[in-house]
Structure 1
Amino acid sequence: MLGALVKSIFGSSNERYVKSLEKIVQQINGFEPTLEACSDEELAAQTPKFREMLAAGATLDDILPEAFATVREASKRVFGMRHFDVQMIGGIVLHRGEIAEMRTGEGKTLVATTATYLNALEGKGVHIVTVNDYLARRDAEMMGQLHNFLGLTVGVIVPNLNEFERREAYAADITYGTNNEFGFDYLRDNMKHERSQMVQRPFNFAIVDEVDSILIDEARTPLIISGPTDDKSELYISVDAIVKQLDAEDYETDEKTKNITLTEDGVEKAERMLEDAGLLVGSNLYDVENTQVVHHLDQALKAVVMFKRDTDYIVKDNKVVIIDEFTGRMMDGRRWSNGLHQAVEAKEGVKIEPENQTLASITFQNYFRMYPKLSGMTGTAATEAAEFYDIYKMNVVTIPTNLPVARVDEEDEFYKNTLDKFAAIAKLIREKNEKGQPVLVGTVSIEKSELLSDFLNKEGVKHSVLNARFHEMEAHIVAQAGRYGAVTIATNMAGRGTDIQLGGNYEFRIDDELSEIPEGPEREAAIARIKMEVSDEKDRVIAAGGLCVIGTERHESRRIDNQLRGRSGRQGDPGLSKFYLCLEDDLLRIFGPDTLFAKMMNSNLADGEAIGSKWLSKAIETAQKKVEARNYEVRKQVVEYDDVMNDQRKVIYEQRSDIMDAETVDDVVVDMRNDTVNSLVADACPQGSYPEHWDVEGLKEKAKDILGVDAPIDAWIDEDGIEPEIVEERLAELAGAHMSAKMASDDPAIWRQVEKSILLDRIDHHWKDHLATLDALRQVVFLRAYAQKTPINEYKQEAFGLFEHMLDTIREDVTRILSVSELRIPEPAQLPELPDFLTGHIDPLTGLENSNDGDGSAERAALFGSLAGSPQATASPGGTAENPYADLPISRNAPCPCGSGSKYKHCHGALV
């Protein structure tokens, strides 16, 4: 009660913080008269002036007021738009590395220009991260006009750019791009062999648009670059044969999660059979050396016991094809990851396709935490404020709206079943449509969108159905969802980043309706007509009540509901929002069919009857909070496991970077050789043991195999008082002399290049194998919980040991190659090309792609695949006889539209 009293008097901490920023806004406003009097050239000259001030020791905070005022004045001249004071507050929040929560329609894209311009003045680069490539292109093109006016360069990173184009885009002062592209470029850069091949600069500052979508929704799924691995067909077949010999009492199953674990007797039985097959190292299945075998055994168990033919998959044309559990449709081209698909292929006796092995991976959490300064903006972040601070150390600041919100948020309505609910929704939509009020309906799935569409067809209501697949097309439709009488059904992600303006968006109408009319009096007259029509239509829509937003059910996250609600009531416009729920909704099923709530509704509600209550709405919100907390724990667990790998990733990537930057790496090679000698002697001549107990023959053999020398160790041991340290010293001198003699006959510059190449090659090779081992370890480490051990602690401990072992292996491998191999330089010497990588955003729990269709490429590929042979596909404007699909926006990694089954880049795309 005391807290509420203090808040009512002094305001919340957020309100006090925002109020403190108003002093800076007043300073910004103080520069406006002076800058208004400047010519365009004088305004553009502000940029070099600011850079000189920074070079002289000024800080960004020192020049912030004048720099923000400069951006505001430039915006007035370029766009005819003046930043509101609340937008300036949003810009200050972004500059300070915080999250600006601003309602839909408050102009977040324009807000970002202030912080972007200020931070770009340092010349270190600023990244603007968006959720899809349409928004990246749009924002770079639109806001780039303002930045170019002020003398800054702008680049954009989207799929299918070549290395030169990417390097140019990253070298710009400001770079727009998608989260996936930034992350994949980072991973690819750390697989290059020359610094000159890398495209990214050191990280400086990033602003993440729709920060909740990128850093929360997509944060559970790491970015993964993979490539084909060695053929393991025989291993899959052998393990499959062993699993098929196990009995039902040898394992325990969990049908719900499709998990299966061996019993104690089952473990012993499997160990004996694996040992007989020569697949086990030692006799203990769960020794760290057998991590890969345990992984394959688990996957084979799942394939044989849990995955049913004609239910989970079918065998078609001698291939295993996954069946979608929700739609029952075949999912051609989709494969289970982590070796599960190969295990099913072994089970069915069909050809086993090569498994893709992880070559590099990173979570969004660890990628974005590498930026020294990170900020974000969205309309909905407050409900996840705790997670933003825990993971990213970013505070959420709620920015007040420019005009008071006039939207009315009605109470939820509850129905017994889905049909009753959708009938009520369709009836309301028809009523609103008859009086011309535009309606936006949010659904949680494509199936629900189609169901509602059927109801509206029966009611005779004309409508559009969108489902977040084709971002550019949907942006145009969503932009016009505020027109008089418009009815639009959209999944929750559809058209994000596009404002719904009452009466329609005249800019989109100009693009759509006047694209064929050239510049001139006719076009100017048409533009004036469209603007007049939009203005008149806006008045009619306002009179009808503004945009009506309807939610067909509550999402498991309150944030998604708020996103939908925020579509209505932009910039003080009137509006209405309402959610309809029923007992069959996914979220309400959390309560269970036997709860008091469900019994009360079933017994007291007649068919078609609704109930509304604040108590019920509160209960739903409580359920949402529980689900949000569970989802946070899942994301947190992903971070905990990736943090272990992240520490190791930093060591490897820093070592690679040092090697690439070094003129010569002979000191590293010498250290590796000495460490290898130390290890060999320590194994053969343990401290405190007598010479007669030393493994002399083994040491001589390893010295020959690894160091390339015939060491007279027998003669050394005959000396009195010989110690392991003396053996180590002499062996190191012998190995050093051998390498000196070997290098003397060749050009030192060539040897320097050879040493660097071998170092990088061996690091990459063993890092790749290490990632595969960690992947397998992660799949099975949860079993340690049965032994009252904490899986994450076990993972950390074993991952550390594996990493130490990998470093030892790298040292030994590099020493052996340089000491034993003959030097042969190809003419001309060329840098190795990177392989044909696969990039994915894979859910580590399900193994399925979860990219949120960032660039829409998968769906576009499906569309163009359906057009194969159609006039659209064969007569594309700009297409050629060799490649009729040249102008279609097809992802290079998507299936070719011709239906060959090959990737586009390996088929018709190879001709581009």
Structure 2
Amino acid sequence: MGKFDWFWKAMGSTAERNNKKSKAVVADAHGLIEELSLLDDNSLAETVRATVTDGAVKDKPRFLAGLSVASQRTLGMTPFNVQNQAVLRLLEGDVIQMATGEGKTLVGAMAATGFALQGKRVHLITVNNYLAARDAEWMRPLVEFFELTVAAVTESSSREERVAAYRSDVIYAPVTEIGFDHLRDNQITSREQTVQVPADVALVDEADSVLVDEALVPLVLAGSEGTQQATGQITEAVSHLVEEQDYTIDSDGRNAFLTDDGAAKVERLLGIESLYSDEHIGSTLVRVNLALHAKALLIRDVHYIVEDGKVALVDASRGRVAELQRWPDGLQAAVESKEGLDVSEGGRILDSITLQALMRRYPTVCGMTGTAVEATDQLRSFYGLHVAVIDRANELKRFDEADRIYATMEDKNAAIVEEIAHIHSTGQPVLVGTHDVAESEALAEALAQRGIAVNVLNAKNDAEEARIIAEAGDVGRVTVSTQMAGRGTDIKLGGADEGDHDEVASLGGLAVIGTARHRTARLDNQLRGRAGRQGDPGLSLFFVSLDDDIVTTGGADETFTAQPEPDGRITGNRAQQFVEHCQRVTEGQLLEIHSQTWKYNKLLADHRDILDERRAAILDTDTAWRELAERAPQRADELSHLPQEIREQAAREIMLFHLDAEWSEHLALMDDVRESIHLRAIARETPIDEYHRIAVREFKDLANRAVAQAVETFNTVDIDENGAHLADAGWKRPSATWTYMVSDNPLAGSGNSVISGIGNIFR
């Protein structure tokens, strides 16, 4: 546990006491397995159901033993005692830490079934669409053994499939799909349009990734306004700008700024007098700045790829294509124009929610991961969750070599190629973890020039992930992967069928090489964890250069000098300590960013709760009609000849239209406020306090404006047997919607890219 020892002592070893209790229950359950194995299927299922009274398990050993027998009978998988212990801790609401290859998929399915047997609907949240579909199908026999239902929701699911799936007892889905469906449900005008139904439990696979790494990622729903961006001429003008002469990039790599010379050049190329005139400052200048962001800060094959004539965003934390997502309006158009593609139509943000706010909507949150202990502080601070460390079924035999540190990126990259070639010559399989698409392809090309065949796994071919990862442990394989590193997919020695297991084990098992340290040690450990599964041998080794982002960012205020060897390598404890120091600095920065951002987001989350209550009242009761009739009684009398349900639905649509429009404006306004709130510090005001004051005031005005506008529309819009003709009066909801994710973390960029991370570039 290392640096977290103090925490466990301070807590009085609560987690250890809980684990001891769980082990005692598991031991009792083990003694019941033989007895329950003699029962037929119906009797076994009934025995397990009988242990649940009033939604709670009264006989935990018998409940657990029954789940174990059912697992063996339906899946052919007999859980280890440590797996049963993990199931118990999940059912108690913990985040469990289990090593790679120790069977988290079965543990999650057993726990989800256990929750469902208690009458709770479970969202089992996976890291990607493939795993959601695979695990739902794989674990279906166990869930259905108890006459429960299971389904998966993925990006390719139709609306009808989603509606059916969300009404199951156990739903497997990526967190983004659950979040986007929630946002879309917040746009409905009739309860029959609802896709989701509430769930009681979120059981999160790779919990540290969802609950910590991506917790502050806003999921955004945007709507079409049918406008086209006039970006072509502007993109052409910006393409002629030269860095340092015409524009500068700040030290964080988050913003690009025109110089006076750059502004003059753009004005000349566009044939306008001044970018800063009233005529252009609110339109042309905005698009120029977006085009500059696209040119200077967004790198093809790092932040996005071009596929089938379209820009596809890359999810920075996983290295995968972020399907059906796009950047905020204007920036997407700027990147498309930069790449010479058809430009998307414009739009506006309709709604937004962070993953942290989304997860806090569940009454119970629990999860599993291979690296939870390092995230203990965050899990406790932001969710009130405990971490339970589950022992390995077999002792770890992986050797974790000390980092190899080099003076320059060039020296490091050459050493990486040499090391891979050396290991490959022995037949030992190698998995290389890179930080972005461009780096993975450059490394693969360098290896190909050495005659080494490479399987590349990145955002351009993530559909092949399962096949590539399944074979990554076979003799002589070299697999180069982006940060996805096969999380959730087991790498077995000797290939998918483990046919050459013993041969690979004799060679030393899977060798994992990291091309740079990540911004937290936990991310390094996720990559390390691909090797050494279930007692297999393995090796992990990270390469670092003094040019790496983590060193330049974390060591920005430090001076480190050392005499490198002829090949550029820097040896000695001082170098190792300096790299570890840099990583601790970036970890601290991330924690501070998380803490500060959470304070800003929490108030909006509270406002969202109030808005949701208001929406529910309008959707489920006659609130809208009553309020409008009270404020405009004459108009209500004019409509008295219409059926009651027509009048109520018309009032509902009018009120919801203006409530949603005002919420959209509120989000945009608070975004602007947050962008400039740091200026309050100059006036000796506390930024967060001032932000809260403005947010509370504006939210009160939002509610009043929404009602006032609804009354005005109610008085003027045409309402007949077909309802309220809002579109005819110019009150038109978006004709199309799309979703996107935005990183709020300025350190979330690629490890070896030329920038530190674009962060949330439209804020």
Normalized against structure 1, the TM-score is what? 0.69
CA distance in 1 between counterparts of 2:304 and 2:487 reads 29
CA distance in 2 between counterparts of 1:758 and 1:381 reads 47
Matched ranges for 1:766-781 at <5 A: 766-781=662-677
Matched letter for residue 653 of structure 1: D
Q: Name the residue aligned to 1:124.
A: 120
Q: Deviations over 1:527-579 (max 9, x none)?
A: xxxxxxx45x2122222222222222212221121011111111111222222
| Offset, 1:143 | 0.8
Q: Deviations over 1:514-536 (max 9, x none)?
A: xxxxxxxxxxxxxxxxxxxx45x
Q: Is the 8 A contact 2:625 2:647 kept in 1?
A: no
Q: Name the residue aligned to 1:217.
A: 213
CA distance 1:545–1:63, shift in 2 (3 Å)? same
Q: Name the residue aligned to 2:712.
A: 816
Q: Name the residue aligned to 1:21.
A: 22
Whether 1:838 and 2:750 are equivalent positions in the alignment is no
CA distance in 2 between counterparts of 1:834 and 1:17 reads 51
Secondary structure of the 1:770 match is helix
Task: Report the number of matched residues.
Answer: 702
Matched ranges for 1:661-810 at <5 A: 661-663=620-622, 665-670=624-629, 673=631, 736=633, 738-739=634-635, 741-810=637-706
CA distance in 2 between counterparts of 1:327 and 1:656 reads 37
Q: Deviations over 1:879-907 (max 9, x none)?
A: xxxxxxxxxxxxxxxxxxxxxxxxxxxxx
411, 418, 424: which one pairs with 2:415? Answer: 424
Q: Deviations over 1:163-189 (max 9, x none)?
A: 321111011110001111100111111
649, 659, 671: which one pairs with 2:618? Answer: 659
Secondary structure of the 1:227 match is strand
Q: Is the 8 A contact 2:629 2:636 kept in 1?
A: no
CA distance 1:297–1:787, shift in 2 (3 Å)? farther
Q: Is the 8 A contact 1:258 1:302 kept in 2?
A: no
> Comparing 173-182 with 466-475, which one deviates more in the overlay?
466-475
Whether 1:197 and 2:97 are equivalent positions in the alignment is no
479, 482, 486: which one pairs with 1:488? Answer: 479
Whether 1:548 and 2:511 are equivalent positions in the alignment is yes
Q: Is the 8 A contact 2:371 2:526 kept in 1?
A: yes
| Offset, 1:295 | 7.8
The answer to which structure has the higher strand fraction is 2
Secondary structure of the 2:96 match is strand
CA distance in 1 between counterparts of 2:642 and 2:8 reads 79
357, 368, 377: which one pairs with 2:359? Answer: 368
Whether 1:626 and 2:608 are equivalent positions in the alignment is no
CA distance in 1 between counterparts of 2:257 and 2:276 reads 22
Matched letter for residue 648 of structure 1: H
| Offset, 1:754 | 2.4
| Offset, 1:381 | 2.0
The answer to which structure has the higher helix fraction is 1
Q: Is the 8 A contact 2:646 2:722 kept in 1?
A: no
CA distance in 2 between counterparts of 1:4 and 1:584 reads 33
Q: Deviations over 1:38-83 (max 9, x none)?
A: 1223223346545xx43xx3x5242433222122111112222211
Q: Is the 8 A contact 1:225 1:840 kept in 2?
A: yes
Secondary structure of the 2:187 match is coil
Q: Name the residue aligned to 2:99.
A: 103
Q: Is the 8 A contact 2:642 2:720 kept in 1?
A: no
Whether 1:206 and 2:166 are equivalent positions in the alignment is no
Q: Name the residue aligned to 1:858.
A: none
Q: Is the 8 A contact 2:123 2:172 kept in 1?
A: yes
Q: Name the residue aligned to 1:600.
A: 562
Q: Name the residue aligned to 2:223.
A: 227
Q: Name the residue aligned to 2:370.
A: 379
Whether 1:479 and 2:470 are equivalent positions in the alignment is yes
Matched letter for residue 584 of structure 2: K
CA distance in 2 between counterparts of 1:6 and 1:834 reads 50
| Offset, 1:148 | 1.5
Q: Is the 8 A contact 1:479 1:498 kept in 2?
A: yes
Matched letter for residue 69 of structure 1: A
CA distance 1:181–1:552, shift in 2 (3 Å)? same
Normalized against structure 2, the TM-score is what? 0.81
Whether 1:30 and 2:26 are equivalent positions in the alignment is no
Q: Name the residue aligned to 1:268.
A: none
CA distance in 2 between counterparts of 1:805 and 1:432 reads 66
Matched letter for residue 587 of structure 2: E
Matched letter for residue 624 of structure 1: Q
Q: Is the 8 A contact 2:155 2:177 kept in 1?
A: yes
| Offset, 1:128 | 0.4
CA distance in 2 between counterparts of 1:547 and 1:307 reads 41
Q: Name the residue aligned to 1:74.
A: 70
CA distance 1:123–1:471, shift in 2 (3 Å)? farther
CA distance 1:821–1:27, shift in 2 (3 Å)? same
Secondary structure of the 1:360 match is strand
CA distance in 2 between counterparts of 1:455 and 1:343 reads 33
Whether 1:139 and 2:135 are equivalent positions in the alignment is yes
| Offset, 1:392 | 1.6
406, 411, 418: which one pairs with 1:415? Answer: 406
Whether 1:647 and 2:606 are equivalent positions in the alignment is yes
Secondary structure of the 1:199 match is coil
Matched letter for residue 837 of structure 1: T
Matched letter for residue 363 of structure 1: T
CA distance 1:295–1:744, shift in 2 (3 Å)? same
| Offset, 1:97 | 1.6
Structure 2: gaps spanning 5 or more residues: 234-246, 261-273, 312-325, 751-763
Secondary structure of the 1:388 match is helix
CA distance in 2 between counterparts of 1:45 and 1:205 reads 23
Matched letter for residue 638 of structure 1: T
CA distance in 2 between counterparts of 1:345 and 1:540 reads 50
Q: Name the residue aligned to 2:169.
A: 173
464, 467, 490: which one pairs with 2:458? Answer: 467
| Offset, 1:190 | 1.5
CA RMSD of aligned residues (A): 4.3
Q: Is the 8 A contact 1:429 1:439 kept in 2?
A: yes
Matched letter for residue 836 of structure 1: A
Q: Name the residue aligned to 1:269.
A: none
CA distance 1:47–1:744, shift in 2 (3 Å)? same
Q: Deviations over 1:633-667 (max 9, x none)?
A: 33334333322222222112211111211156444
Secondary structure of the 2:720 match is coil
CA distance in 2 between counterparts of 1:26 and 1:327 reads 50
Q: Is the 8 A contact 1:60 1:119 kept in 2?
A: no
Matched letter for residue 803 of structure 1: F
CA distance 1:329–1:275, shift in 2 (3 Å)? closer
Q: Is the 8 A contact 1:227 1:359 kept in 2?
A: yes
Q: Is the 8 A contact 2:302 2:436 kept in 1?
A: no
Q: Deviations over 1:589-638 (max 9, x none)?
A: 346699653x2134xx2235x44444433332221121122123333343
CA distance in 1 between counterparts of 2:507 and 2:722 reads 77
Matched ranges for 1:180-191 at <5 A: 180-191=176-187
Q: Name the residue aligned to 2:240.
A: none
CA distance in 2 between counterparts of 1:441 and 1:125 reads 39
CA distance in 2 between counterparts of 1:221 and 1:629 reads 18
530, 534, 546: which one pairs with 1:571? Answer: 534
Structure with greater contact order relative to length (CA < 8 Å, sep ≥ 6) = 2
Q: Is the 8 A contact 1:260 1:301 kept in 2?
A: no
Matched letter for residue 120 of structure 1: A
CA distance in 2 between counterparts of 1:134 and 1:5 reads 39
| Offset, 1:827 | 8.5
CA distance in 1 between counterparts of 2:275 and 2:570 reads 62
